[in-house]
Chain A
Amino acid sequence: MQKLIWILWPSFVMAGIAEAVFFTLVDPQELYLFGEPVHMTPLATYSIGFFAFWALCAASSAFSCFLQRSAGAPRV
């Protein structure tokens, strides 16, 4: 559980920052997805964008957690 919080909480904060920076610079109506303009409502784009950022940041946190286990240490 502690690991899960370590992974999900910092990534949540970072996703919030990434979301704010990204969508300040980019209008969701001007985004292209697989070569097609995004047809979703702006609210949906913002929300999905947030979760995509969260997932990416969580992956990074998980990677860090994984690397923290030293190679010789017993598996937890």
Chain B
Amino acid sequence: MVQPAPRPESAGAKVIPIKETSLYEAQRKIYARSVSGTFANWRWAMVWITQAIFYGLCWLPWNGRQAVLFDLVERKFYIFGLVFWPQDVFYLAVLLIISALALFLFTAVAGRLFCGYACPQTVYTEIFMWVEKLFEGDRAARMKLDAAPLTGNKLARKGAKHAVWIVIGLWTGFTFVGYFTPIKTLAGSVLSWQLGPWETFWICFYGFATWGNAGFMREQVCKYMCPYARFQGVMFDPDTLIVTYDAERGEPRGARAKKADHKAAGKGDCVDCGICVQVCPTGIDIRNGLQYECIGCSACIDACDQVMDKMAYPRGLIRYSTEHALAERWGRGQILAHILRPRTLVYGAILSAIVAAAAAGLALRQPLKVDVIRDRTTLAREVEGGLVENVYRLQIMNLAEAPRRFALAVTGLPGVRIASEQIVEVAPAATQAVAVRVRVEPDAGKRGSNPIHFEVRAINHDEVFVREKASFLLP
């Protein structure tokens, strides 16, 4: 990736120097200034959407149970009308592949969209910073408060901030655990002080992590802990939309009077107010070019646009643009036209194919699974009438959320039949193990192993049918 070379600071600049520091070593605390504007609105919209889903979905009922529940105790994952069993781990793998591909596609099109708008780290930091601003004021007030000696007022403000942070953290932890233990039961246990030790632990653990990540570590998580931040660069190309400073238009930067003709004075459009740096949650200066710390939140775009409005300059000195567009001075239409390019088309095609295949697989999924296990204690035995009998254990898994009766049959050898119960009733979303005795004439097949098939069909639901292979031993 081509980066404009860092420019020496202009005289009188109030730019805060960028200092590369290691995690938890001497670290310049970042006091991000709050910002408003189009992209801030988008970020807040995403906070509301993601959190409405996270905090709300666990309370949604479905079929008389929680709509989305990863029931660890029963080892069943419920997602609306679908019930996933450990045998369905394939779908989990597919989901991970789809997520990864979607991330690749979004990154190729418009950089770190996920980081800037939807990553929990960004979202909770946004919420926590809003609380912080509520009690401690904006950037300047916070810096002043932190520098001031400890007074009753300071203690009250900090205490109130942490109290709210902790409440949000605990509620987040409670919600998280509520996806694994039915949340209404969990809420009942909390209210009656009868929460189990592990549930208590995980609520506190997740709450503590939220408090620490969103309250303290913030941008350091993105800079030092997130693997995506390190490798996202390989998914970028010169046509990827990124938050960019238009150096050609902005430079040479410098302060000026509002009414001065800066072009006559040989200055660019950047007034060097430093607000783009002040609003940056990772504390970088976007004017130094694309940096791996940039999470693509666009706070600097909003901030700069406001300054441009005040100066009566056109907006977009910092804007979403691409490397090619800057170099070739492309307009919006050309940038958009370049979204469709081999890389995005390939990502898009693979993604669509996998999504379609997964959807088809889910739609055609039989709400019935059968495992056949041979009884190992008796291989083959002779029973009355000179018949040979093999015993099997059938695990019949009814994936439907209604009780079902299944008819068992066996095929594969002349005259083969089931000598035990042939109708099995299975409770909703449950497993029923049945011992099945299969008999055949001794001369019906060759000596040794003969292939047979168990056929399990739901009574009154003929389409629910599974055929499982097994082997019949003849002495």
Contacts and interface: CB of A to CB of B under 8 A. Distances in A.
Interface of A: 1-2, 5, 9, 20, 23-25, 27, 41-44, 46-47
Interface string B325-355: 0000000000000000000000000000000
Interface string B198-219: 1101100000000000000000
Contacts of B72: 23, 42-43, 46
Given A25-B86, A27-B86, A5 B199 contact: no
Contact of A5 (B23, B181, B201, B202): B23
B198 A5 contact: no
8 contacts: A1-B23, A20-B92, A24-B86, A24-B89, A43-B72, A43-B196, A46-B72, A47-B201
A24 B86 CA distance: 5
Nearest to A20: B92
Contacts, number: 37
Contacts of A42: 72-73
Given A24-B89, A27-B86, A2 B198 contact: no
Given A1-B23, A2-B22, A42-B73, A47 B198 contact: yes
A44 B225 contact: no
B130 interface: no
A5 B24 contact: yes
Contacts of B196: 41, 43
B202 A2 contact: no
B258 interface: no
Given A5-B225, A43-B73, 6 more contacts: A1-B25, A25-B89, A43-B198, A43-B199, A44-B198, A46-B72
A31 B72 CA distance: 15
A23 to B, nearest CB: 8
A66 B196 CA distance: 39
A44 B198 CA distance: 6
Nearest to B22: A2
A7 to B, nearest CB: 12
A9 B225 contact: yes
